[in-house]
Amino acid sequence: MSKKKLGFQSTLIHGGGFEDALGSPTVPIYQTSTFTFKSADHGAACFSGEDDGYIYTRLGNPTIGAMENVVAELEQGYGGIAVSSGMGAVNTIYMGLLSQGDHMVSSAAVYGPSRSVMEKHWSRFGVESTYVNTANADEIRQAIKPNTKMLYIETPANPTMDITDLEEAVKIAKEHNLITVVDNTFSSPHLQQPLTFGIDIVFHSMTKFLNGHADVVAGIIVAREKEMYEKLRPIMINLGVNMDPHQAFLVHRGIKTLSVRIDRAQENAIKIAKFLEEHPKVKWVKYPGLPSHPQHELAKKQMKGFGTMLSFELKGGYDAGKTVMNNVEVALLAVSLGGVETLIQHPASMTHSKVSKESKLKAGITDGLVRYSVGIENVEDLIDDLKQALDKI
Ligand code: LCS
């Protein structure tokens, strides 16, 4: 293949540069824990770094490496670090870059455990955190203290769909010498490439869009610069949150259809968002593609599409939401998101249940908020499904 830089969709298919010795177009699954050395000297050279041969799968593996290289290319970063889950990525980043006495400013609306692990556990090791609405740059500025080291952003945020201005965030971080981290799970690199805005680290729960088929739990970190990559990779290795080769194979297969899956689901998402917004029983809908979304213009500027996630609240609050969740027949009542199947869930009692009620309300996660992840089913079926469930209220 020519060395010309490929477009995004070609990179999904051909990225990473892996060439199989026997000509397989897919990356074989090296389902092994260890690799034999040619000699004792060769083993020593692999450990010293003189030889880049494989040693042990927790340290590196060809199947995992091929997938890491594709995602690093898609995010336009220096290198990818595959991890066992999205939470493996979160904790690798916290452990690698925050020490006792350091402070982190983060989006208040983040995936519940990304916040609760910081507030309940990293705090035990002396790491401080402040959660603010990062969609408001003034709130970020006011939260920065002399010991602030990291600005952690989830955009669009789970589950409020709030959008943080990445350009502005990088500007603030530069003024205060902060490391910037973006959880890019809700967009995937198909819709948003935070490293191109100057963000230092991007990570994903690949359980979601990158894999896309609700059959794997996985994560990845991509660093913009070599130095950051080299800081984080040993943390993943020593924490032991490495990926398994079979997991990597499945995610790599899912990645190939990332663009077609998201483009197709987005066509459904805007129609569903409009249907809900016009429905008399609906109080509000948050979808970046609706002009009523408070950061609709920002979404247009920094994202290549509006995504497939939306949240809404019914006029009847939680009880009405529960009726809808209990009566949908095409959408599945389940947590997770970003797959080909449509999912519906209730963040306050499910994904964000471990976050205190006060913090949830401050972050905009009301009791009545219902989250809906749009899949690639026929949109008429999804709308009819919601219609009949709303009729049951
Ligand atoms: N970041 C975001 C934005 C997420 O949505 C999730 C999982 C994670 C990180 C953690 O990834 P995991 O370890 O599960 O691969 N989000 C979930 C959700 O909203 N429902 O179930 C899981």
pLDDT one-digit tens code per residue, 145-182: 999 999 999 999 999 999 999 999 999 999 999 999 99
Report the share of the chain in percent with pLDDT over 70: 99
As a whole number, mean pLDDT of residues 329-353 equals 96
**Active-site residue, 208 included:** yes
**Active-site residue, 141 included:** no
Write the pLDDT tens digit of every residue in 372-392.
999 999 999 999 999 999 999
Write the pLDDT tens digit of every residue in 6-49.
999 999 999 999 999 999 999 999 999 999 999 999 999 999 99
Which H or E run contains 379? helix 379-391
Mean pLDDT of the chain: 97
**Residue 68 CB less than 6 A away from ligand 1:** no
Burial class (CB in 10 A: 0-12, 13-18, 19+), 159: buried
Report pLDDT for 142: 98
Cα–Cα distance measured from residue 219 to residue 221, given in angstroms and rounded to the nearest whole number? 7
Quick check: 262 pLDDT over 60? yes
Q: Which of 106, 107, 153, 158 to mutate to test the pocket of ligand 1 (most atoms within 8 A of CB)?
A: 158
CA dihedral 253, 256, 257, 260 (to 10 degrees): 180
The structure tokens listed for 281 are 């029983």
CA of 89 to the centre of ligand 1 (A): 11
Cα–Cα distance measured from residue 313 to residue 246, given in angstroms and rounded to the nearest whole number? 39
**Active-site residue, 385 included:** no
The structure tokens listed for 127 are 């790491």
**Residue 182 CB less than 6 A away from ligand 1:** no
Residue nearest atom 11 of ligand 1, based on CA coordinates:
86
CA of 86 to the centre of ligand 1 (A): 6
Residue nearest atom 12 of ligand 1, based on CA coordinates:
86
Residue nearest atom 20 of ligand 1, based on CA coordinates:
336
**Rg (the chain; Cα; Å):** 21
Question: Which CATH number applies to 7-255?
Answer: 3.40.640.10
Question: Which CATH number applies to 259-390?
Answer: 3.90.1150.10
Nearest to 127 by CA among 90, 162, 170: 90
Which H or E run contains 157? none
Among 51, 56, 58, 271, the active-site one is: 58
Nearest to 362 by CA among 38, 136, 86: 136
**Residue 270 CB less than 6 A away from ligand 1:** no
The structure tokens listed for 237 are 């290795």
Cα–Cα distance measured from residue 148 to residue 175, given in angstroms and rounded to the nearest whole number? 12
Quick check: 4 pLDDT over 80? no
pTM, to two decimals: 0.97
Write the pLDDT tens digit of every residue in 87-126.
999 999 999 999 999 999 999 999 999 999 999 999 999 9
Q: Which of 205, 217, 310 to mutate to test the pocket of ligand 1 (most atoms within 8 A of CB)?
A: 205
As a whole number, mean pLDDT of residues 56-79 equals 98
Residue nearest atom 16 of ligand 1, based on CA coordinates:
336
**Residue 323 CB less than 6 A away from ligand 1:** no
Report pLDDT for 3: 57
Cα–Cα distance measured from residue 313 to residue 10, given in angstroms and rounded to the nearest whole number? 39
Quick check: 1 pLDDT over 60? no
Q: What atom of ligand 1 comes closest to residue 347's alpha carbon?
A: 19
**Active-site residue, 111 included:** yes
Cα–Cα distance measured from residue 84 to residue 216, given in angstroms and rounded to the nearest whole number? 10
Report the share of the chain in percent with pLDDT over 90: 98
As a whole number, mean pLDDT of residues 187-210 equals 98
Domain map (residue ranges) of the chain:
7-255, 259-390
